[in-house]
Chains A and B, each alone.
Chain A
Amino acid sequence: MIRFILNGKEVVSKASENTRLLDVLRQEFEITGVKCGCKEGECGACSVILDGELVNSCMVAVGSIQGSTVMTIEGYRGTERFAVLDKSYAQVSAVQCGFCTPGMVLASECILEKNPDPSEEEIRAGISGNLCRCTGYNAIVEAIGIAAKEGKGLW
């Protein structure tokens, strides 16, 4: 039995300790905003925020997060910060198929949390582990830049 905080609520997982957090989230808790892309930490589609830091949930064994806090896009979407990113992503069409978007938005949050006024280079480094095959990244980089300006004071 592994207890942790998932999107603000305490949950108990019955999964085996060596199960990927990704599989626990999708299958046991039906949190499907977390996407499975590669299962080797290359694509970032399964990104979640674990104890305040961006991680690939495919590379986390659930037994290692006893007592930790996990935030997925489902939990993040209720925040003011999300509303700013939601708007800026839409404004510059930074979403196409949407598969990378939950991970990309959480990566955006982690960039701005550490650095509320990032340079273009810092934004690109911050999303360097999140692959997008549709947009070519420029729109996403722009969206994060806009969010930094529009959301001043939130981060």
Chain B
Amino acid sequence: MVNGYAVHTLQEALEVRNGKKVTPYAGGTDLMIQAKEDAVYLFLNKIEELKRITEDDECIRLGAACTFTQILEDKSVPEILRTAVSQIGAPAIRNMGTIGGNICNASPKADSALIFFVADAKLRLISKSGERILPIADFYLGRGKTTLQEDELLAEVLMPKKGVGNFYYQKVGARNALAISRVSFVGILSVEKDTIIHCATAFGAIESTIVRKPEIDQMLIGKTIAEAREDKEAYLRTYEAAIQPIQGRVSTEYRKQVCMNLLQDFLVQNGIS
């Protein structure tokens, strides 16, 4: 029995994906933890087309098989992403783990996916018959569940470059290295002429998918910092009511308290105190 297909081009990968029931394998760092004896992998780690980092006017385009180390060492990658990635696992995991695997594993604790959520990144999915591009939020159906079709592969992440410069990121884990997030939070805020022109926030590890509430962040957009201070309590209360952390290794109450502390600190750090 064949338990793996090693391919070198995207075309070959799509052919295999089209005809066989395979599990896409990029870095293996999630898959091999729960390795099954009958697993059949489609190895994507040697496909150069999936390891490229390029830019266009609006986006940085990251190949799905880019490793975390590659992301960290490429100065064209926005700092917000490099900051989050630098806290994933340890060097040996970052050398193998990929952003595509982090996204497709569909854990709400995925530290790189959190950044893609807050940046409103898009995913480019391809199959033998074509491609589709969709917002990352639309990719998820629940914990471990995505809309990836059996003949599709994630090819690229399209991450907007604008608006991510002023960021606040916190990963709350039980230790410094090799930590799995208990709560993670990222917020970005852009101010022009004292007016908030963009605000986006996202929480990881609290619900079955990463949480992003653009309708709540909208409460602050268009406001001056002084006006945002006035609206701060309403914003925090609305957010508090909108998130429902799940019970895990840590309690719901703990998670919620940490979420609110982080959100509050994000505002304070931006002068909304």
Residues of chain A at the chain B interface (Cβ within 8 Å): 16-20, 39-42, 44, 47, 53-56, 58-61, 63-64, 66-67, 107, 110, 125-126, 128-130
User: Is the Cβ of A20 less than 8 Å from the Cβ of B92?
Assistant: no
User: Is the Cβ of B177 less than 8 Å from the Cβ of A53?
Assistant: no
Known contacts A59-B29, A61-B25, A18 near B89 by CB under 8 Å = no
Known contacts A53-B69, A58-B32, A129-B178, A63 near B93 by CB under 8 Å = no
Known contacts A44-B92, A128-B91, A129-B90, A64 near B6 by CB under 8 Å = yes
Task: Tell whether B239 is near chain A: CB-to-CB under 8 Å.
Answer: no
Instruction: For chain B, give the interface size range.
Output: 20 to 34
Whole-angstrom CA separation of A128 from B92 in the bound complex: 9
Task: Tell whether B96 is near chain A: CB-to-CB under 8 Å.
Answer: yes
Give min CB distance, A105 to chain B, whole Å.
14
Output the nearest chain B residue to A66 by Cβ-Cβ distance.
B6
User: Within the complex, which residue of A54, A63, A126 is in contact with B6, where a contact is CB–CB below 8 Å?
Assistant: A63
* Total A-B pairs, Cβ < 8 A: 101
Residues of chain B at the chain A interface (Cβ within 8 Å): 1-6, 25, 27-29, 31-33, 35-37, 39-41, 43, 45-46, 69, 89-93, 95-96, 176-178
B92 — which chain A residues lie within 8 A by C-beta? 41, 44, 47, 54-56, 107, 129
Most A-side CB within 10 Å, residue of B1, B2, B25, B93: B93
Whole-angstrom CA separation of A44 from B2 in the bound complex: 29
Known contacts A18-B4, A18-B37, A55-B96, A128 near B28 by CB under 8 Å = no
User: Is the Cβ of A64 less than 8 Å from the Cβ of B69?
Assistant: no
Give min CB distance, B88 to chain A, whole Å.
11
